[in-house]
Structure 1
Amino acid sequence: MIGLVLAAGAGRRLRPYTDTLPKALVPVDGDTTVLDLTLGNFAEVGLTEVAIVVGYRKEAVYARKEALEAKYGLKITLVDNDKAEEWNNAYSLWCARDVLKRGVILANGDTVHPVSVEKTLLAARGKGQKIILALDTVKNLADEEMKVITQDGKGVQRITKLMDPATATGEYIGVTLIEPEAAEELADALKTTFERDPDLYYEDGYQELVNRGFTVDVEPIGEVTWVEIDNHEDLAKGREIACQY
Structure 2
Amino acid sequence: RYFDALARLGVTRICMVVGYKQEHVREAAASYPTATDVTFLVNPDFERGSIGSLWTAREAMDDDVVIMDADVLFHPAVLDRLLNSSHANALLMDETVTQHTEECMVVMRQGRVTALSKQVPDECDLVGEGVGFLRVERAAVPQLLRSVESRVKQGLLDMEYEDALMDFFREVPVGVEKIGGLPWIEIDFPEDLERAKQEILPRLSEQGRG
Q: How far apart, CA to CA, are the structure 2 residues paired with 1:216 and 1:94?
A: 20
Q: CA RMSD in A?
A: 2.1
1:64-75 to 2 correspondence within 5 Å?
64-68=28-32, 70=33, 72-75=34-37
Q: Gaps spanning 5+ residues in structure 1: where? A: 1-36
Corresponding position of 1:88: 49
Q: TM-score, normalised by structure 2?
A: 0.86
Corresponding position of 2:163: 204
Alpha carbons 1:141, 1:165 under 8 Å: kept: no
1:121-160 to 2 correspondence within 5 Å?
121-125=82-86, 127=87, 129=88, 131-153=89-111, 155-160=112-117
Q: How far apart, CA to CA, are the structure 1 residues paired with 2:149 and 2:191?
A: 33
Q: How far apart, CA to CA, are the structure 2 residues paired with 1:84 and 1:103?
A: 25
1:108 to 69, 74, 89: 69
Corresponding position of 1:117: 78
Q: TM-score, normalised by structure 1?
A: 0.75
Corresponding position of 1:162: 119
2:113 aligned partner, one-letter code: V
SS in 2 for 1:190: helix
Aligned residues: 201
Corresponding position of 2:25: 61
Q: How far apart, CA to CA, are the structure 2 residues paired with 1:166 and 1:243?
A: 38
Percent identity between the two aligned chains = 26
Alpha carbons 1:101, 1:184 under 8 Å: kept: no
2:177 to 213, 219, 223: 219
2:13 aligned partner, one-letter code: E
